[in-house]
Structures are given as structure tokens and as C-alpha cells.
Amino acid sequence: MAGIMKVKAKAKGEVTNVKLMAKHIMESGQRKDKKTGELIPAMFLQEISVQHGGKTVFTANLGTAVSKNPYLAFSFAGGAKGEELTLNWVENTGKTGSETAAIK
Amino acid sequence: GMLPMQGFAAKKQPAELYEVPNFGNVRLLHITDCHAQLLPIYFREPNVNLGIGSALGKAPHLVGDKLLNHFGIQANSLEAHAFTCLNYQSAAGKYGKVGGFAHIKTLVNRLRQSYGQANTLLLDGGDTWQGSGTSYKTRGMDMVEATNDLGVDIMTGHWEFTYHQEEILKNIKAFNGEFLAQNVFITEDALFEGADEYIHDEDSGRVFKPYTIKEMGGARVAVIGQCFPRTKIANPARFIPDWTFDIYDENMQELVDEIRATENVGAVVVLSHNGMDVDLEMARRVSGIDVILGGHTHDGMPVPSIVKNNGGKTLVCNVGSNGKFVGVMDLDVRGGKVQDFRYRLLPVFSELLPADPQMATLIDNIRAPHMDWLSEELAVADELMFRRGNFNGTFDQVICDALCNVNDAQISLSPGFRWGTTVLKGQMVTMEHVLDQTCLTYPETYVREMKGEELKLILEDVADNLFNPDPYLQSGGDMVRVGGFDYVCDPNRPIGQRVSEMTLDNGTKIEASKTYKVSGWATVGSRSEGDDIWDVVATHLRDRKVASIDKLNTPKLKNVAGNPGIVDYS
Amino acid sequence: LAMAAWNQDAFGSDNQANAMKALLGAEPTASADVTLKAPSIAENGAVVPVTVKTTAANVESISLFVEGNPTPLVAEFSVPAGTKAEVSTRIRMGKTSNITAVVKADGQLLSASQETKVTIGGCGG
Ligand SMILES: [Mn+2]
Ligand SMILES: [Mn+2]
């Protein structure tokens, strides 16, 4: 299955800068269906975590006010070109995913 | 339809007007907000330009005789006519039209030659590619050609961003000068879609080059570009989905510090389209800028405002609009700093400056394919037709009346743009004049039902963009123009409390929960379905045969007694 | 350092003070050590870029609140040792409101707030 994570991770000196975007609608549960007038059930990413070399370097707990296609940028000490990041995500529906991205 | 000339050019030749003594070693020539006016036009300065909060009574919020007194300009003089709305009809008859690229070019060439071409720079603050029928038809390329012929060295932008992204990039490529903007960034979405291939710098995310260094008169001068920060709010975001704007004064400070530390410059200049109130605030907050050459708010200020800050002082200049003025800033840059300056804001009276033949030919060629459209005679003006001012001008009222009549609506709304030329009483209103007032890339009109509370919300929101005491929360336009109703406005109140007593022309109060039929144009959200506004206005004028108004829907104002930003307002 | 599980009480609360208490145990104190960067006027209320950074030491978490939203808590980020105490994201705002960033560091709760205006748009010069 194709992943939802787009990642730009760059090692620069002692630090790796990570920008990631998760392709996701982030349905808030507060919008009404234009045709039926009924509330569209919430469906949003609730947690995104990033691991490098077996260590968690970043975790985000997200609410429904995070914009569609959640964007996160952070940096951590360590990481080198060619090494791998693992990205795990959890949707409020219980759906989960795990993807990898290379540091450039 | 032309008025007879009063023989001003023949009788009175104030040669000294354009004799600018040379001073220092760096000459910056500044134009801005020409709004694609290639030919000479009339342009009446505002009679209402209220300063609220700390802006009260300070430049640029001075009009009429208050402005003359503040700057010590003699009443009934050529300068008084250039800088104010006083006796506009008769003074315009006497002094003639202003601007026109062929006349601007003659003046610019004189100012460059007398100073030494190599020590001068011509800077254009933007709003150059929009505002005329020909810029609309050529998607701004006519103005790229005209600014190339004029020899513009550096520009920044605002209405330039109302074309599509790829058109803007193409126009910038065809522009011979440099397009600078420190405050336009690529969106995160676009970056992940491969936009990094064309942007100036991927690490910073800047779409355009932020600054340039010019060597002049033995000094190194940095020029930083600052685009209009509210472009995606005031204009359709849909044309430029991949770019994002803001004031970003922390970035400006970082950039100024970096340039001062690494580029060995003697002067730092910002070519800005912030609007003058934002420029003044930025000059207070950011230190290390010597001169801000600003635009957007169309304020023609005869002398610079001097702002003190942590780094010393910053000069803030603003040079009006529609090709009416050329600013001349001469700097003495020695020993790594600006020692002194001389400033003149020259009105471009086209009867006093012969047309440059090469530019005149270029303009003819640009206009030739569109002359049938532009030259249609619609109606004779029965009174002075103007726009500029915080509230409805007479030409705005014609637009609002046209929307109500042609689109069969109770109420009309028209944006408070600051561009749009003036037509004298007795002059024939042509399609070109209508286009001067309406020509933008999202001209479609709409008719829709609106509740009274929604109408009030719109008025309050726009009033806050104009009268919020914090300049960083303003957007630089004037109040939305209205047709079919009046209201009371207290500019000194906070958002939600400025607008009251909304009353239809028939005397009935507008009620929050009642529904009204409203027509308008220039929607920034999504595209509207109706006819283009210029066709609606043309239909109205053809029917009416006379360009006149029955009633000006200007609000009754509260708490503005003694404000020197208002004259002749009833 | 393990990340706390998604806090239902905090994310579900319609009141900022209650959400802060549910997430962090107390309300924070404004501090110059926290920098919140957000636009003074949002280009699009659905996508408001926000960056938080701090000079405080031993940062554990950074959380974001929008007072005027139906549920004020927007997100909670953990900052493990070795990760820089600076994070950027994009948030939704229904109307003009204060944005508050709270940094949990050395057991203290430090905050910075800024108002971001959400407008229906204007005209222009
Ligand atoms: Mn502008
Ligand atoms: Mn303009």
C-alpha cells in the first residue's frame, strides 16, 4: 500500500532537519454533509511519531484543529545521509501505518 | 469630449519645477502604483483619508488645506493642485493631465542624465501590471514592455500577483530589471510537489530574490524588496496557490543585519509595497534601514517622514499613484553610511514634459489592437467623476448604481480600491475610463440574497482593515462602497461597533434577520457567475446617456471633528 | 521518555483553561523564554502556520491552544532529549482568536500568546 507520508529529511552537520506532510483529510466531526445535512463523522490522525536508530525523536498528539494534510517540522541531533527514519501513525478510527524515509 | 486647454503649457513654464540640483553620490528615482496608466490622466487626491489612533494628524493622513499648512505649500499653486483635491475641476482645467509613460520617461531621462546615468537607479514599487484594458488583455505584458523601455532597474509587486503563477513567472522573466521580494515564501504543499525547482532558495523557502547590491557613486547600496503582505487576503488566493505572504519583520531585521555584516554596504534601502502606515510601523520596529521607498496606499507625500528607531532613523517616502509623481532621493553615502539626503517629489505634468517618441510609439502599438473597445463613448460626465477617498467617490456611486439598476438589486457593494482615474465634468466618459475604475482579473458580478447581519459583518470587517489602530492589522484599501443604503460610521470604535443605523434609501432600517438582494463584483473567494463589471457599468451609462448620480451613499461620520484627514465632507 | 497517550479529556474540552488543566495539570505562566510565531492576519483560517521555540532547558513537551476554537487544544508535541525545542505546524482557526503555546520544561509551564486575526478579506490599494 502506498504511504501517506511525504518526508524531506536533510542531515546538516550534527543535526537532521525533518519536514513531513501526511496526506490526510483531518475530518473534524463538526462539518455537515451538504446533501443529507448530517454530521460527517470525525476521521483524523491522532498520533504521528518518528524514530531514528531505534530511538523516538519526535511524537505529536493531534486534535481536529490541525490543518488538512498535517505538516510538521522539527530537528534532532544525529542522523546521517542514507540512514532511515521510521514514521508511525494512528488514526482516531484505530487504523495505523508505518512507513520509512531516507535522510538526504 | 475633450475640454479646451487653458494654454497652461504656453503661458506658464515653471522651468524650475524639474530643475533638481544634484546632491551626494547616489540618486534613487522612485515610481509606484501606476496601475498600468500608459497615457496622461486626471487624478484627484482624496478629501477623506482619516488617521486613527497614533496616526491622527500625521502624514499621510492629511488632506486639502490641512496638508498644505502641514507642509507649507502655497494655496492655489501648481503644487497645491498636485498634492490636494482643492478646486479640482478648475485647477485640472488649468494645469492639464498628469503622468503618462512617455512623459515620465522624458523626466526620468533628464534626472538620470543630469546626475550621471551610472549613479542613478529607477525603482518601481509595483501595482504596475494592472488597471487598464491593455494590461488585462496582455496579462500585464504591455507593462513589462513599458517598464523595460523606461529602464526600471528593480521592482516589487502586489497586483502583479493577480495573474496566474506561471504568467507572473513568465512576465518576470521578460522584465529586464530585478524582481525582489523578501516576504514571499513557497507553501509547504508546493515544496513537497517539486516547486523547489524554480524558487530562489530552497532552504529559506523564498520564491524570489530578497535583495540586490548596486555599486553607485563609489558606494555599495543594498535594495531589499517587500511585496504587499496581504496579497492572498485582499486578492484571490486561487491564482497563486503555491505562494504565501506576510510582513515578516523578524526576517527583514535578520536580512538587514546580515547585509550590514557581510555586504560592506553604505546604505540599505527597502522598496516596499506595505502601504505607508505599515512602512512607518516597520521603520519603528526594524532598525538599520536608511530609506523605505513605499507604495500601495497611494499617498503622495512631498517630504519623507523621519522615524527614529534603535538603529538611528529611517526615512519613509510614498509617491502617490497612477503615474502622477516621480520621487527623487539623493543620498550622500560616504564612510559606510548615509551622511545626508535631499528629497523632491515631482508631479508629472504632461503639458510641461514632451513625450518621449520611442515610448509614445510603443504605447500606440500596445493600444492599437484594442482601440475599438477602449474608445467607445458612453456618456458625458455631469459632474466630477472620481474614486479616491475613504468612502464612496462619485465614480464608485455610478458603479454601485449600475449594479442595482442593471442587476435589479436593492443593495450594491463595490470594493474600496485606491486606483481609478478621474473624469472632469463635461468630459466624455469612455469605455477606457470605466476600465480604469474596474479592470482586474476577477471582474465577474454576482447577485445574491444576504441577511442584514451578514451585510453588517462585511462592513465591520472592511472598516477594521482600514481603521484598526494597529497598522499591521490594516490592509490598505478604502471602505467598501455601497449603493442603496446609508449608515453611520464611528472609525474610532473597535471591530463590531463601528457601523450602525444601516438604512435603505427609502428610509427603512436594515434588519439583521431580514434578507436583501445584493449585487457586487470582484469576489476574492470563488469566481462569480455574472457579467463583467465594466459591461454592467457601460450598459448603465449607455441607458442613462449622462454620467451623473442622484445621491452619494457616504456614511454619516461620528467623532471625526478636528481630524485633519477630512475636508468638504457633508 | 514515553509520550503520554492521546488525552481524551484535554482534546475533547471546549474550554481552554480546562483543557490545559486536563493536559498539563495546571495553567501556565507567560514567559519571554517562549517564542510563538504566527501571522498577525491569517491568509486562510484553515491553514495558519505556527512555529514555537523556546530557550528553556530540559523541555519535555510543547502544546498549542486556540482559545476561540470549538475544542481549544490543537496538538501536543513531545521533545525527547536531543530533539531541538522548536516545532512548526499548521492549524485551523474558525475566527479571530488568541493562540497560546505552552512549554513544559523542568516541571514548569511557560507560555506565549498571540492574537491572529481571521478576516473575510478586503480590497486594496
Ligand atoms: Mn497595492
Ligand atoms: Mn496601488
Give the three cell numbers for residue C117.
486575526
Contact C83 A62 (CB under 8 A): no
Contact B473 C121 (CB under 8 A): no
Q: How far is C25 from chain B (nearest CA, A)?
A: 34
Mean pLDDT of C90-118: 96
List the CATH number of the domain containing C39: 2.60.40.2470
Contact C71 A76 (CB under 8 A): no
Mean pLDDT of A73-84: 96
**CA B226 distance to own-chain centroid:** 15
The length of chain C in residues reads 125
Q: How many domains does chain C have?
A: 1
The pLDDT of residue B216 is 96
The pLDDT of residue B10 is 43
Reported as type and span, the H/E element at residue B220 is strand B219-226
Q: How many CA atoms lie within 13 A of B51 on its CB side?
A: 21
Strands B243-245 and B184-186 come out as: antiparallel
Is residue C84 assigned to a domain? yes
CA of B155 to the centre of ligand 1 (A): 13
The pLDDT of residue A34 is 87
The pLDDT of residue B194 is 83
Cα–Cα distance for residue pair B62/B71, rounded to 1 Å: 10
Domain limits at C34? 28-116
Domain A5-102 in this protein, CATH class? mainly beta
Give the three cell numbers for residue A103.
535522510
Q: How far is B187 from chain A (nearest CA, A)?
A: 11
Parts of chain B with a pLDDT under 70: 1-15
Parse chain A into domains and list their residue ranges. Answer: 5-102
| Residues within 8 A of C (CB atoms), B 155-184 only | 158-159
Contact B230 C124 (CB under 8 A): yes
For A66, which residue in chain C has the nearest alpha carbon? C91
Cα–Cα distance for residue pair B165/C24, rounded to 1 Å: 45
Is residue C77 assigned to a domain? yes
Q: Which ligand is nearest to the CA of B161?
A: 1
Beta-bridge partners for A86: A51, A100
The pLDDT of residue A30 is 87
Give the three cell numbers for residue B510.
436594515
Give me the sign of the Cα torsion angle B496, B491, B551, B385.
negative
Contact A19 B189 (CB under 8 A): no
B429-468 burial: b if 16+ Cβ within 10 Å, else e = bbbbbbbbbbbbbbbebbbeebbbebbbbbbbbbbbbbbb
Of B232, B298, B473, which has the smallest distance from its Cβ to C125's Cβ? B298
Q: How far is A44 from chain B (nearest CA, A)?
A: 18
The length of chain A in residues reads 104
Optimal mutation site among C41, C50, C87, C118, interface B, most CBs of chain B within 10 A:
C41
Contact C124 B246 (CB under 8 A): no
Kindly provide the residue ranges of all beta strands, DSSP E only, lying in A1-95, ordered along the sequence: 5-12, 15-22, 45-52, 55-62, 71-77, 84-91
Q: Which domains does chain B have, with CATH numbers?
A: 21-41+97-362 (3.60.21.10), 375-557 (3.90.780.10)
Cα–Cα distance for residue pair C24/C78, rounded to 1 Å: 13
The pLDDT of residue C120 is 74
Q: What are phi and psi of A3, to 5 degrees?
A: -80, 175
Optimal mutation site among B187, B189, B192, B202, interface A, most CBs of chain A within 10 A:
B192
Contact A71 B191 (CB under 8 A): no
Cα–Cα distance for residue pair B60/B317, rounded to 1 Å: 10
Helix, strand, coil distribution of chain B in percent, nearest 5:
35, 25, 40
A62-100 burial: b if 16+ Cβ within 10 Å, else e = bbbbbbbbbbbbbbbebbeeeeebebbbbbbeeeebebe
Residue B384 contacts residue B424 (beta carbons within 8 Å): yes
* ipTM for this prediction: 0.92
Give the three cell numbers for residue B232.
492572498
Count of beta carbons in the 10 Å neighbourhood of residue B180: 24
Q: How far is A89 from chain B (nearest CA, A)?
A: 19
CA of C41 to the centre of ligand 2 (A): 20
Q: How far is C94 from chain A (nearest CA, A)?
A: 9
Optimal mutation site among B319, B465, B528, interface C, most CBs of chain C within 10 A:
B465
Task: Tell me the pLDDT band of C3, cut-offs 50, 70 and 90.
Answer: low
